[in-house]
Chain A
Amino acid sequence: MKFKFGIKEVVALGIGTALFVVLTTVQIPLVIVPNTALQPRMAILAFFSAVFGPLVGAGIGFIGHWLGDAIFYGSVWWSWVFPEIIVGAGIGAFFKKYAVEEGGFNKGKSIVLFLLTEIVSNAIAWILLAPVLDIIIFKEPVNKVFVQGLFAFLGNAIIIGVLGTVLLIVYSKIVGTSSNLKAED
């Protein structure tokens, strides 16, 4: 598969990442597990992936996560930066099927597909990749990182599933029907 990476994608990657970074500080804490919280920025990542495709999604995930962490916390937890690429690319994989900007994201079929890819890519990223990287890089205890990964998966799957889906449905509805103009011959 070949994906277009034109001017619009460049700008979407740039400004989308900026939005992702700004929302880094917006967190809905889950008190149960330390250092994990519901992150509304993940819904933004899912939104841009679904609208602009896997390359933009992967880019926003990777650059946004490390830049956001670096700017606000002064350090980067690399083992949690790389899984973000999987999330962005995974959700963006079927972006043509959603046709968000043409108002296509309103049928049950596209919503189910979105939720399915969202859950699968989050599972691969947080239950599999992040803990394995934590073990390789930081040699953290196996049971700890998998419990953390599981909660990160739940948190991200929930926030993307709820907030991300709503953002896409509403945006698709508004943008897809906003124009009454027709092209003249």
Chain B
Amino acid sequence: MSKMISYEKKNTPVHKLSGFTKLIFFILWCLTSALTFDTRVLFTMIAIGVVIYIIADVKWQQVGGIFIAVMIFMVINLVCIFFFSPYEGCKIYGSRTDIVHLFGDYTLTKQQLFYELNVFVKYFAVLPSVFIFLVTTDPSELASSINGIGVPYTIAYALEITLRYIPDIQDEFHKIKNAQEARGIEMSSKGKLFDRIKNTAIIIFPLLFSTMERIGVVSNAMELRGFGKKKKRTWYSKKPLKAADIAVIAFSVGFFVLTMFITYMDGSRFYNPFI
């Protein structure tokens, strides 16, 4: 079972920020990386990401596995892009500089390499925000911050329930899986496709039934305590915004506006070094 990324209590400036601030940063950062294709902006984002990692005291053991997994995923993806469309980069940048002819209709071009580098960097630029958000935000604070940006508190509370029950359900999943494996039913990659689906089903059934029971128990308990009767709700773990929070929010918004300006200044979201 792969390792999960989870909250770790530390005393760094990033941990001290309010969850609301980190959520705003997370959303704006994802938006920026989705909208821009400007190489300069993407590399700046990676640099800022590294700085945040250092400030938040993130260790290589925590991120190493994920980086390697993402790297493998991206390499497969990039090779795929090349085989499906070897001249995508030429179309985007409007020029073509051959490097070496490979075989058949496939020629390696500078533009294609540059385009694939951008796709690669673009994907890596998202990583810090997701990771920092999950590692440095207390799950019980998460709901209050999501409620803070205007999401109804029932939804925020559902998310809180999710984070609370993931470890429980995971425990149960392992128990059921081990029990079934002891009976000779395993979820390996051996066997025919339908056998594999069948074996998976045998493990999922008990898990689903106990989950449905759990839903009944928890919703009864919440009903007894009068959940959802009022329009608003306060949060025990909500942190008030401090000067540092306001500074980070201002930076995030400023960075977003600036990157959008740099990216779209010349009318195209691509940075074109080939002109």
Residues of B within 8 A of A71 (CB): 4-6, 134, 166
CA distance A18 to B205 in the complex (A): 16
Given contacts A70-B134, A74-B66, A140-B119, whether A40 and B208 have CB atoms under 8 Å apart is no
A15 touches B165 (CB 8 A): yes
Per DSSP, chain A at the interface is: helix
A144 CB to closest chain B CB (Å) equals 4
The answer on a CB contact under 8 Å between B211 and A167 is no
Chain A residues positioned under 8 Å from B77 (CB to CB): 34-35
CA distance A76 to B164 in the complex (A): 21
Q: Mark B113-150, 1 if CB is under 8 A from A, else 0.
A: 00100010011001100110110000000000000000
- Find chain B residues with CB under 8 A from A64 CB: 162
Contacting residues, chain A, for B196 (C-beta < 8 A):
28
Q: Which of A21-58 contact B (CB under 8 A)?
A: 21-23, 25-26, 28-29, 34-35, 38, 40, 43-44, 47
A178 to B48, CA, bound (A): 58
Task: Collect the chain A residues with CB atoms within 8 Å of residue B134's CB.
Answer: 70-71
Question: Complex: how many Å from CA A67 to CA B73?
Answer: 18
Q: Quick one: closest B residue to A33, CB to CB?
A: B80
Known: A14-B160, A17-B158, A29-B189. A144 touches B80 (CB 8 A): yes
Binary flags per residue of B169-190, CB closer than 8 Å to A gives 1, else 0: 1100100000000000001010
Q: What residues of chain A lie closer than 8 Å to B187, measured between beta carbons?
A: 26
- Asked if B92 is at the interface of the complex by the 8 Å CB criterion, the answer is yes
B258 within 8 A of A: no
- Say yes or no: is B47 at the interface (Cβ < 8 Å to chain A): no
- Give the distance to chain A from B103, nearest Cβ to Cβ, in Å: 19
Count of chain A residues with a beta carbon within 8 Å of a chain B beta carbon: 58
How many A-B pairs fall under 8 Å by CB?
184
Query: Chain B residues near A78 (CB, 8 Å)?
Result: 30, 34
Binds B, one of A1-9, A88-96, A103-111, A121-129: A1-9
Is A167 within 8 A of B208, CB to CB? yes
Contacts of B37 on A, CB cut-off 8 Å?
139
Residues of chain B at interface, number, CB under 8 A: 71
CB interface residues, A 163-181, toward B, < 8 Å: 163, 166-167, 170-171, 174-175
Please state if B162 and A74 are interface contacts (CB–CB under 8 Å): no
Is the pair A28, B227 in contact by a Cβ cutoff of 8 Å? no
Smallest Cβ-Cβ distance to B152: which chain A residue: A5
Per-position 1/0 for A140-169, Cβ under 8 A of B: 111110010000000000010011001100
Closest residue to A24 on the B side, CB-wise? B2
The distance in angstroms between the C-alpha atoms of A67 and B6, with both chains bound, is 11
Contact A6 B169 (CB under 8 A): no
Cβ–Cβ contact A47 & B81, under 8 A? no
Partner of B169, one of A22, A63, A143: A22
- Residues of A at the B interface (CB closer than 8 Å) are 5-8, 10-19, 21-23, 25-26, 28-29, 34-35, 38, 40, 43-44, 47, 59, 63-64, 67, 70-76, 78, 137-144, 147, 159, 162-163, 166-167, 170-171, 174-175
The 4 closest A-B pairs by CB, nearest first: A14-B161, A141-B85, A144-B84, A74-B66
Pick 6 A–B contacts, CB within 8 A, sort by A: A15-B162, A18-B165, A22-B170, A26-B200, A73-B66, A167-B205
